[in-house]
Amino acid sequence: MTATDVTTGSAICKLVVSALLGGAIGFERKRKGQIAGSRTFALISMGATLAMLVSCAIPQLFSHLDNGGDPARIAAQVISGIGFLGAGAIIQTKASVRGLTTAAGIWVSAGLGLAVGIGLYVIAFVAMILILITLVVINNIEARFNLEWESHIINIKIPLIIESIDAYRSIFEQHGVKLHEWYIDADYNRPATSIDFVVQIRENADILKLFAAMQQVYPTNNISLQNEI
């Protein structure tokens, strides 16, 4: 019997290990308020392990045939198929895109499950540690060195022609917003002015207070925030 031979005892052991590894990653994601938590990640990891076990079991069961089966065939479909579940974790709004890290975590958890299913326990455990380091430690490093900036475009529509944006510069400085450039569209027929500010904002910035301060500078019809493209 080899490490890849499927028995009832080894299959149960692999499923348990897979659930623990996936659950550990899911716990970190849920702690960050993401939609996928320990249960989701544990199920994904176990599902991938189960697919790998079935892939390994098929050649054993049909070894008497000339072409007993390819152990990689079912496992290969896990890698491509898990992308649909990962896409469901991505939330796109007009202002931001969330869930990319969780989607990546879902995909790599499936890889963990496959590794456990084939019997690569040490590699799967080391991979889990590296995943958690990536999610926790690197996130703390980014926060420590003020790397949690996001690029956005703030669009403001004003029902008159303005002559200066100095007041907006001052507001951005007060709220810790970095202004990189701006684009102005002045319509003298209405009259009206539309300004696009290309800025960098911290992830934890209070956007509503920023908007409230901006709308007090000039009469304002609309202020919107969107990702920089």
The pTM of this model reads 0.57
- Counting every residue written for the chain, the total comes to 229
**If residue 149 lies in a helix (H) or strand (E), which one and from where to where?**
strand 149-158
Q: Please give the chain's pLDDT, 229 residues, in tens.
A: 455 567 888 888 888 888 888 888 888 877 766 666 788 788 888 888 888 888 887 777 666 556 656 666 777 777 777 777 666 666 555 445 567 777 778 888 888 888 888 888 888 888 888 888 877 777 777 666 655 677 889 999 999 999 899 999 999 999 989 898 999 999 999 899 999 998 988 877 889 999 999 999 999 999 999 875 4
149-227 under CATH 3.30.70.260, yes or no: yes
Question: Is-contact 205 141, C-beta < 8 A?
Answer: no
- For the chain, what are the domain ranges? 8-144, 149-227
Contacts of range 218-221, beta carbons closer than 8 Å, 24 or more positions apart = 218/158, 218/160, 218/162, 219/158, 219/159, 219/160, 220/156, 220/157, 220/158, 221/157, 221/158, 221/159, 221/192
Q: Is the dihedral of CA 78, 83, 88, 91 positive or negative?
A: positive
> What's the confidence (pLDDT) of residue 63?
65
